[in-house]
Amino acid sequence: MTADQPGLDMTTSINRILIQYGELTLKGRNRRDFERALGDNIRLRLSRAGIDWPLEQRHHRALVHVPEQAAEQLPTALAALGQVAGIATFAPAVFIPAEQTGQPHRLETAPIEQSMVSLANARHRPGATFAVRVNRADKRIPIRSDALARELGAVVLRQTPWDKVNLTQPDLQLNLDIYEEGCYCYADKQRGLGGLPVGTAGRAIALLSGGIDSPVAAYLMARRGCAIDFVHFTATRVQQTRAAEELVARIARQLSHYTLRSRLFLLPYTHFDMAMMGHNSGYDVVLFRRFMSRAAERLAERCGAQALVSGDSLGQVASQTMENLVSTSRAVQLPLLRPLIAMDKQEIIDIARRIGTYELSIQPYKDCCALLSENPRTRSTPELLERLEAEYMPNMDELLEQTLAEQVCLEFEVGELVGQG
């Protein structure tokens, strides 16, 4: 393919997706486990998107082999990779094997020039600027990166309509990465999700409401490598048959694009509600937070989870004053992680939009918290709450077990319901 063949679709020559790992590379001794987990997660995520292309893993990077005639599936594959935690960047690339370039002792640039020219041609916009960047990971190649970049830039200027170079802020960056197996030419490098592969940083139970915040909290933990299951308390009767259509189930299903494999436990609010009847202390919201956390802690023991996650953000609502957050934490032994604690609402909303939960979270939903007192106390102490609990819920253990006994569990895998019980 050359500049003399205008209109040729360059995607026909894309034969790899080049994936660069993020912080994984820092993990030294554990690197192998991390790379294995990332490989498994990439394969699962792609295969759930209907793509079963081969994955090759190499030092610090992975390559998805794009079959010939598969160009129309490429956008689907790229979108899927954009949701995999542990990927720093990814780019559809033209791979030129070492045999074609004469590596490592020479570097035959003709095939590289051809790819660069075709990448450049397909992306030309009048007035736009470009730059060529060369990364020579294989240092045996007898030519320096900057010299090669200049040479390739001159070729692009000569053979394509591109006529302006800008090395500091180019509109188009043409990249050449030289590794021992060959060269990768690419133009459309995208930022990945970052973080660590799901499943490499423990397991947690995320308290999921129908609101905006808690799905974002769960997502952030998953992105940091944590395997996630969800628990939700519902005021409507937990019905097996309709459970999957509940709003919170749709939120959990959407989140599973990122968390990959997650269970959602639906628990009834009724046992707590009945115990509270006739009592009007103004502390019922905090008492409910403590009750939910205790139930989640019992679930965590059964799921092998090491921590709880909530969507609390300091001072956002009355139940999230420092005092009330502390009172909730004190009800459980497990750490209650709060990844949103220092974030502003708008920052949380921005993430919710990006991960596709915002539109679900703003739909009308009768969360059980709406049934609790409208003006909750902003100050509480664990000691006072313990006294109230002893009075209202002397049978706490029994209430928790009754609540857990009525659980309905939905199992999600990458955006699909795969089990129910």
Residues that bind ligand ATP (CB under 6 A): 207-209, 211-214, 231-233, 292, 310-312, 316-317, 319-320, 367-369
From ligand ATP, Mg ion, none, interface partner of 293 (C-beta below 5 to 8 A by class): none
Using the minimum distance from each CB to Mg ion, give the nearer residue, 187 or 251.
251
Using the minimum distance from each CB to ligand ATP, give the nearer residue, 81 or 368.
368
Q: Min. distance of Cβ 364 from ligand ATP in angstroms?
A: 14
The pair phi, psi for residue 223, each rounded to 5°, is: -65, -30
Q: Min. distance of Cβ 93 from ligand ATP in angstroms?
A: 40
From Mg ion, ligand ATP, none, interface partner of 328 (C-beta below 5 to 8 A by class): none
From Mg ion, ligand ATP, none, interface partner of 316 (C-beta below 5 to 8 A by class): ligand ATP
From ligand ATP, Mg ion, none, interface partner of 196 (C-beta below 5 to 8 A by class): none
Q: Min. distance of Cβ 275 from ligand ATP in angstroms?
A: 16
Using the minimum distance from each CB to Mg ion, give the nearer residue, 209 or 254.
209
Q: Min. distance of Cβ 230 from ligand ATP in angstroms?
A: 8
- Match 């992306």 to its residue by tokens: 123
Supply 51's token pair: 């793509």
Residue 45 to residues 90, 92, 204, 286, Cα–Cα distance (Å): 15, 17, 21, 39
From ligand ATP, Mg ion, none, interface partner of 312 (C-beta below 5 to 8 A by class): ligand ATP
Other beta carbons less than 10 A from residue 240's beta carbon: 12
Q: Which residues does residue 410 pair with via DSSP β-bridges, in sequence order?
A: 264, 420
Find the farthest-apart pair of alpha carbons in the chain and give their distance in angstroms, rounded. Answer: 85
Share of the chain residues as helix, strand and coil, in percent rounded to the nearest 5: 40, 20, 40
Q: Min. distance of Cβ 235 from ligand ATP in angstroms?
A: 8
Q: Min. distance of Cβ 143 from ligand ATP in angstroms?
A: 55
From Mg ion, ligand ATP, none, interface partner of 121 (C-beta below 5 to 8 A by class): none
CB 285 within 8 A of CB 373: yes
CB 222 within 8 A of CB 214: no
Q: Min. distance of Cβ 56 from ligand ATP in angstroms?
A: 40
* String marking each residue 209-228 x if it binds Mg ion according to CB under 5 A: x-x-----------------
Using the minimum distance from each CB to ligand ATP, give the nearer residue, 207 or 226.
207
From ligand ATP, Mg ion, none, interface partner of 276 (C-beta below 5 to 8 A by class): none
Using the minimum distance from each CB to ligand ATP, give the nearer residue, 154 or 362.
362
Using the minimum distance from each CB to ligand ATP, give the nearer residue, 209 or 254.
209
CB 312 within 8 A of CB 369: no
Q: Min. distance of Cβ 208 from ligand ATP in angstroms?
A: 6
200 binds Mg ion, rule: CB under 5 A? no
**Nearest residue to Mg ion, scored by beta-carbon proximity:** 211
The CA-CA-CA angle for residues 155, 160, 161, to 5°, reads 135
Q: Min. distance of Cβ 221 from ligand ATP in angstroms?
A: 11
Ranges of H-type helices in 71-212: 74-81, 98-101, 110-122, 145-159
From Mg ion, ligand ATP, none, interface partner of 212 (C-beta below 5 to 8 A by class): ligand ATP
Q: Which residues does residue 177 pair with via DSSP β-bridges, in sequence order?
A: 135, 184
CB 252 within 8 A of CB 207: no
Which long-range contacts (C-beta less than 8 Å, at least 24 apart) are formed by 316-320? 316/213, 316/345, 318/285, 318/375, 318/376, 318/377, 318/378, 319/285, 319/286, 319/289, 319/376
Residue 11 CB contacts under 8 Å (≥ 6 apart), including other chains: 71, 74, 92
Other beta carbons less than 10 A from residue 16's beta carbon: 21
Using the minimum distance from each CB to ligand ATP, give the nearer residue, 224 or 232.
232
Using the minimum distance from each CB to ligand ATP, give the nearer residue, 38 or 251.
251
Using the minimum distance from each CB to ligand ATP, give the nearer residue, 175 or 313.
313
From Mg ion, ligand ATP, none, interface partner of 208 (C-beta below 5 to 8 A by class): ligand ATP
Identity at 328, one-letter amino acid code: T
Using the minimum distance from each CB to ligand ATP, give the nearer residue, 184 or 233.
233
- What is the Rg, in whole angstroms, of the alpha carbon atoms belonging to the chain? 27
Instruction: Point out which residues bind Mg ion (CB under 5 A).
Output: 209, 211
